[in-house]
Homo-oligomer: A and B are copies of this chain.
Amino acid sequence: MLSAALRDGTAHRSCAFEVFARRLPGGRRYGVVAGTGRLLEALTRFRFTDAEVASVAEFLTDETLDWLRDYRFSGDIDGYREGELYFPGSPVLSVRGTFAECVILETLVLSIYNHDSAVASAAARMVSASDGRPLIEMGSRRAHEEAAVAASRAAYIAGFSATSNLEATRRHGIPGAGTSAHAFTLLHTDADGPDEAAAFRAQVDALGVGTTLLVDTYDITAGVETAVAVAGPELGGVRIDSGDLGVLARQVRAQLDSLGAPTTRIVVSGDLDEYAIASLRAEPVDVYGVGTSVVTGSGAPTAGMVYKLVEVDGLPVAKRSAHKESRGGRKRALRLARRTGTVVEELVTAADAPVAPTDPYVAREVSVPLVRGGDVVDTGTVADARELVASGLTSLPWEGLGLSRGDAAVPTVFS
């Protein structure tokens, strides 16, 4: 495409591309935009090295190779801030510049947005299902090694409290947390058999009594008794990773209380998703450890966002083929809310259309400038994004937080 467009001169036409999701996966009520910060950081590094250019020399013209060598995005980007909720059709990103400089960003933009938004969207449902209890992201082993780091970041933005991925703590400043694995308990085995007390003692010696001990390697009741015997009643927590977590949490709570350890917390983990988390609301669980389901988007591992050309030299353009129509022209989004703050509608209009009065609703412009002339003008922080998710969730009508399949929390209206 790039070679052909450079050859016939259309590569230099002024274009606008928009990113949006045609639908939300699995009857969900809302999505969470994530990846903005990572995209802006990646954009500044998005150049082609000599080795990269050489690798495509075989099938591209010299003109194209020169263009790639000099590539630097010099256009403008507007978009929803990271952490903003989105709905079907929400124009979450608008990328403007020449055709060539914009089209070459498609895979970078979509890879980051589709992955990070998929994780954040699933994670936000788990956060609302947890009813205020902390969640630790522990899914690194179930995701590609680099995707895992991005997933930790996205889960934190959505409201998770911490991650077990140390690279995410280093790279993105996400708080770290974790417990030990069964291997550590099993390691403390000798010719006389397993010695769970030795494992617990080693952990407490190294990390203090505030640590969390994994008590289900052998027998949970014996494990809890040993844990309190070793650490004393100030033991920080115990983790249960298998079995009927609700029943076990109740038994362990009663046992801890009877052992004089009422402040020892119960951490549960093991194939938790938003539904399992919700089902444990009435149980004495203090912390959830969530792995596979959060890093894989809980059944929706990609957000399904697309990157579509909507305007060429000021003319709106749109595909007309069945089932995949798009709406031409640059767009803006206004989020309408009642005076109480509850949102009622995502209003999408032509970018340059005058805004009609929205009374009695309050209208908020959702997009902000992110890049001007190739320079990043608004990055935002992970903390900002996390606050935005939290406030977004409280702005939804009550049915918008439902876990069951349903319509989007608010309608998207194209005007």
Contacts and interface: CB of A to CB of B under 8 A. Distances in A.
Interface string A316-334: 0111111110000000000
A56 interface: yes
A183 interface: yes
B292 A302 contact: yes
A112 interface: yes
Interface string A52-65: 10011000010000
Interface residues of A, number: 90
A28 interface: no
Interface in A175-208: 180-184, 186-191, 194, 198, 201-203, 205-207
B8 A202 contact: yes
A107 interface: yes
A7 interface: yes
A334 to B, nearest CB: 26
21 contacts: A1-B180, A4-B180, A4-B202, A4-B203, A10-B202, A52-B167, A56-B166, A61-B206, A99-B187, A111-B142, A142-B304, A146-B147, A182-B309, A186-B309, A189-B312, A190-B313, A217-B320, A241-B324, A243-B321, A295-B302, A301-B301
Interface in A135-170: 140-148, 150, 165-167, 169-170
B141 A319 contact: no
A142 B109 CA distance: 10
B1 A184 contact: yes
Interface of A: 1, 3-5, 7-8, 10, 13, 15, 17, 42, 51-52, 55-56, 61, 99, 103, 106-108, 110-112, 114-115, 140-148, 150, 165-167, 169-170, 180-184, 186-191, 194, 198, 201-203, 205-207, 216-220, 241-243, 270, 292, 295-297, 301-302, 304, 307-309, 312-313, 315, 317-324
